[in-house]
Amino acid sequence: MVYIRTKKVKGIQYLYLVKSIWDSKNKTSRQEIVKYLGKASEVIKDDIPVEYRDNSKVLSVLAAQNPEDIKKREEASEKSKKLLYKRLTEGDINSCVKIYGDYVNIFNSADFFDKILKPVMYQIGDEWANNKISIATEHVASNVAQTLVKIIMDKEKTHGKKKKILLCVPLGEEHHLDCDVIETFLTSKGYHVFNMATSIPSDSILYFIENNHPDIVMVSITLEDNLKTGQRLIRKINDNFDVPIMVGGYALEQEKIPTFDAEVFANLTLTDLPKIICTTIS
């Protein structure tokens, strides 16, 4: 059973999606946090993981939290997603940049990546896989999305002396948009980001770690077929270096995933990322 739990901090309500787990040994139930949702006034239906999005108890709690504001946010998000899908598949980078600008004038860049760009790119990928759009259209959209991310990064880049982050993918993984998005966001927060999100041999990643000493390694896996390759990469890193490893990506958002010798994060939002990095490194 899932439901939303509220917590008030300094007069502000925060929401958590939790589920009850039965402990057969102690014959009692315990709460397990599925996802931290954020400020109650800012949470919308899209923030809920897909498998719980139509749960009546969850929806009733959301409806009780500033319903007019939430409705406006949902309408704005839905409009932005539809428009971005259209412009990406048309290859119109200028319009995509304008959509981003209009959205962040109301919300913020983290929400744009999490709630607009990511679901739109997942939709495009699914439609290509199911032959609803051509591979040419998928390539056009992906290339425009990558250009959009780079443009945003140039706009938001700041200089700082925070921790060094290595982003990489296992051999055979050709999808690197998630890494580009994370690079953009963390760079804007002052982190020194090494983005190696190209399909290269594991030994090359190990060589890079040895010579550049990142404070944390983040591995992104998009395709389910690359989960085992990701396991092997993480095992090699652990065998050679004492460095924290985080693993995430679309492939980790399935119900059943293999075990990784790393911190696994599914449905992670960008706004939570700096806090998690600090906790993982410390």
Whole-angstrom distance, CA of residue 227 vs CA of residue 75: 36
- Do 146 and 241 share a structural domain? no
Q: Are 183 and 167 in contact (CB under 8 A)?
A: yes
Range of the domain at 262: 164-281
- Do 113 and 41 share a structural domain? no
- Do 275 and 170 share a structural domain? yes
CA distances to 138, 175, 220, 258, 259 from 167, rounded to whole Å, are: 24, 13, 7, 21, 20
What pTM value is reported for the model?
Answer: 0.59
If phi > 0 it is left, if psi is from -120 to 50 it is alpha, else beta; for residue 108 that is beta
Phi, psi of 49 (to 5 degrees): -55, 145
DSSP 26: T
- Do 168 and 148 share a structural domain? no
CA 250 from centroid of its chain's CA atoms: 8
Query: pLDDT tens, 38-54?
Result: 777 777 777 788 777 77
The domain boundary, picked from 65, 80, 98, lies at 65
- Do 187 and 271 share a structural domain? yes
Structural domains of the chain, count: 3
- Do 232 and 220 share a structural domain? yes
Sites in the chain below the pLDDT cut of 50: none
Q: CATH number of the domain that 129 lies in?
A: 1.10.1240.10
Query: pLDDT tens, 81-114?
Result: 999 999 999 999 999 999 998 888 777 788 888 8
- Do 217 and 149 share a structural domain? no
Tell me which H or E stretch contains 33. strand 28-39
- Do 189 and 271 share a structural domain? yes
228 Cβ contact partners less than 8 Å away, ≥ 6 residues apart: 258
Helices in the chain by DSSP H: which ranges?
56-64, 67-90, 93-106, 109-111, 118-129, 135-156, 177-188, 202-212, 227-240, 273-281
- Do 267 and 169 share a structural domain? yes
